[in-house]
Amino acid sequence: MPSSCMHVRLATLLESVAAAVRTKRTMASPAVRLLLLVSALVGVKAAPPPDGCPAPCECRGSSVYCMWAGLTSVPAGIPPGTTILRLNNNQISNLPPNAFANLPNLRGLDLSRNKLTNVSAEVFKSLTNLEWLYLSNNEIQYIAPNAFLQQRHLKDLFLQANNLMEIPSGALQSLGSLTLLDLSENGIKNLTNAAFTGLVRLQTLYLSANCFSHIENGAFSSVANLEKLYINKGCLMSVPIKAFQNLKNLLTLELGVNDIRVLAEESFFGMGRLKRLRLSNNKIAQMSAAAFGGLKELRYLDLKANRLTELLDGTFRATPSLEELYLCMNNITEVKGTAFQNVPGLQMLKLDDNAIQTFPAATVASLSNLQSLDLSGNPLKCDCFLRPLRKWLDDASAELAMREQTTCTTPVEFLGARVDVIPPENFTCPGGDPPGYGLQDQVNPKAASTPTTRQMTSSTPRDVNPNWNSKFSHSADSSTELENLSGMQAEESKEIELGQELREEMKVQMDEMKGVLGSVLEKLSALEDTVAACAQPSRTVVLKGLRVEFDEVAEN
């Protein structure tokens, strides 16, 4: 490489990435950490651009960068050996038929964030080796039926954030190698059974933020190899069971932020390999005990922010592999004793912000492998019926999440007291325990003879005052002890509340970050191409690692 090297315009790319991240105020998110690492690559140097590179573009190896240049058309004179062409963030509104006629080796083309309104049948005709194509964030209303006729090697097609009202019949049928298709954030209202004809290798499909009024039976019959389907914010009022029935290889299904009200029996029939199911932020008030029939491999289920009022016996009997279950922010008042029966691998259970008053002994007994339980924000009744849960907290290896917000509502002497602080023997019922409901019952069989880590490290009034238990047993002194307890925990509670606020804010921020990660990944692709062209193998390895991390953030 010549000694007279010049800096590539990486700073411009990084500035764009930084701006996208800053707009979401994600100071605590993983994306910020990755961005700081990427910024270390600004020092990459490269050889001067080759002869014949059109202004105002920059050419590095076989990659040509013409981003943010104010272009209104594709510049002439792009080297015929170009394999990567980036024209994103310009003002291009029209693509003539010969726009890419002399670029037969092109593998990647980025036209995102321009002003395109249509895709004609001739514009990509010569690009027979194209593998990925970005047309996102334009104003596309129409795609000609044969627009992608010659793109038989195309793997990734991004059409999100346009003005498409429908998927033109036959427009995608020649894309037999396509594995990812993004049609989110358009105006598509109907999905016909011919919409995805020919997409036999499609694995990931994004349809979120389209307000569907109708999805035909068999709409996904042509994409039997689909593994990930996203229809969040889709105006769905029910689960289109017959439309999904051919998705036997589906691993992830997201139907969050819709208007689904009922989950009928076997709503996900035929999806035997499904592992992740998101149904959060709907209006689900009724759920059949057999709603998840057949989902034997399901590991993650998100039902938060719905209108559920109870969990029936055996609701999750058909999901024996379930590991994470989110039921927070519903109106659940009762959890039946065997609601989680036959879910031996359940590790995380979130029931926070419901209306739960008690937690049946049978339910406690079924949570043998639980690692984290969240009951915060519920009006818990701390009587003998909650005692099995309290004993389980001492005996089991599970953590009680948000324990500072897991407090008693009744009886009055325990009002506001943390459940994990009150000794088990003080959870009593007026008139004594019901027959057969003794303290010796409901002890976790997995409990060890030595105290758990939480027991040894938790700071409670019992650690401070060995006589606290006996004092607490006298009802006359209960109010005084609770006042003392409140004083001892006042400073800690303030810090915990602040931590909770930050935690909730981070949740919102991470959801928002997913909206900008697509553009961030586009920028990283440009960086990867540039670094590779600059013959900097060590930095190329680092950058590829960053892309993997960003992909994981976008996925999770």
Q: What is the pLDDT of residues 45-103, one digit of tens each?
A: 334 444 589 999 999 999 999 999 999 999 999 999 999 999 999 999 999 999 999 99
- Model confidence pLDDT, tens digit, residues 461-508: 333 233 333 333 333 344 444 444 444 444 444 444 445 555 555 554
Please tell me what DSSP assigns to residue 418: B
> What does the block give as tokens for 538?
């060590």
Mean pLDDT along residues 329-339: 92
- The closest alpha carbon to 413, from 465, 463, 477, belongs to 477
Residue 289: the pLDDT is 86
The yes-or-no verdict on residue 428 having pLDDT over 90 is: yes
Element of type H or E holding 79? none
Residues 6+ apart with CB under 8 A from 336: 310, 311, 312, 313, 315, 360, 363
Q: Is the CB of residue 217 less than 8 Å from the CB of residue 190?
A: no
* Higher pLDDT among residues 437 and 129, named by residue: 129
The yes-or-no verdict on residue 256 having pLDDT over 50 is: yes
Burial of 419 (0-12, 13-18, 19+ CB in 10 A): buried
* Higher pLDDT among residues 12 and 217, named by residue: 217
The yes-or-no verdict on residue 321 having pLDDT over 70 is: yes
Please work out, in degrees rounded to the nearest 5, the angle formed at the alpha carbon of residue 143 by the alpha carbons of 141 and 145: 150
Residue 498: the pLDDT is 47
Residue 381 pairs in a beta bridge with 410
The yes-or-no verdict on residue 118 having pLDDT over 90 is: yes
**Distance between alpha carbon 114 and the CA centroid of its chain, in Å?**
28
Mean pLDDT along residues 280-307: 96
- The closest alpha carbon to 225, from 201, 252, 246, 245, belongs to 201
Phi then psi for 201, rounded to 5 degrees? -105, 5
The yes-or-no verdict on residue 404 having pLDDT over 90 is: yes
CA–CA distance, 77 with 68 (Å, rounded to integer):
18
> What does the block give as tokens for 66?
């013409």
For the chain, the average pLDDT equals 79
* Higher pLDDT among residues 392 and 556, named by residue: 392
> What does the block give as tokens for 524?
């990283």
Which CATH architecture fits 54-214?
Alpha-Beta Horseshoe (3.80)
Residue type, 413: E
The yes-or-no verdict on residue 554 having pLDDT over 70 is: no
The yes-or-no verdict on residue 555 having pLDDT over 50 is: no
**Residue 35: which pLDDT band, with cuts at 50, 70 and 90?**
very low
* Higher pLDDT among residues 540 and 207, named by residue: 207
Mean pLDDT along residues 522-546: 48
Q: Say which residue the tokens 């509104």 belong to.
A: 93
**Residue 158: which pLDDT band, with cuts at 50, 70 and 90?**
very high
Please state at what angle helix 30-39 crosses helix 10-22, rounded to 10 degrees: 160
The yes-or-no verdict on residue 157 having pLDDT over 50 is: yes
Please state at what angle helix 30-39 crosses helix 537-555, rounded to 10 degrees: 170
Q: What percent of the chain has pLDDT over 90?
A: 60
Start and end residues for every CATH 3.80.10.10 domain found in the chain: 54-214
Q: What percent of the chain has pLDDT over 70?
A: 69
CA–CA distance, 90 with 241 (Å, rounded to integer):
42
Mean pLDDT along residues 161-169: 92
Residue 458: the pLDDT is 35
Q: Residue 310 to residues 26, 239, 272, 365, 387: CA-CA distances in angstroms?
A: 36, 21, 26, 19, 21
Element of type H or E holding 349? strand 348-350
Q: Say which residue the tokens 């039976």 belong to.
A: 217
**Residue 44: which pLDDT band, with cuts at 50, 70 and 90?**
very low
Question: Pairing mode, if any, of strands 252-254 and 190-191?
Answer: unpaired
Residue 514: the pLDDT is 52
Residue 438: the pLDDT is 53
Phi then psi for 157, rounded to 5 degrees? -130, 120
CA–CA distance, 129 with 56 (Å, rounded to integer):
26
Element of type H or E holding 106? none
- Model confidence pLDDT, tens digit, residues 131-150: 999 999 999 999 999 999 99
CA–CA distance, 103 with 67 (Å, rounded to integer):
18
The yes-or-no verdict on residue 207 having pLDDT over 60 is: yes
Residue 435: the pLDDT is 77
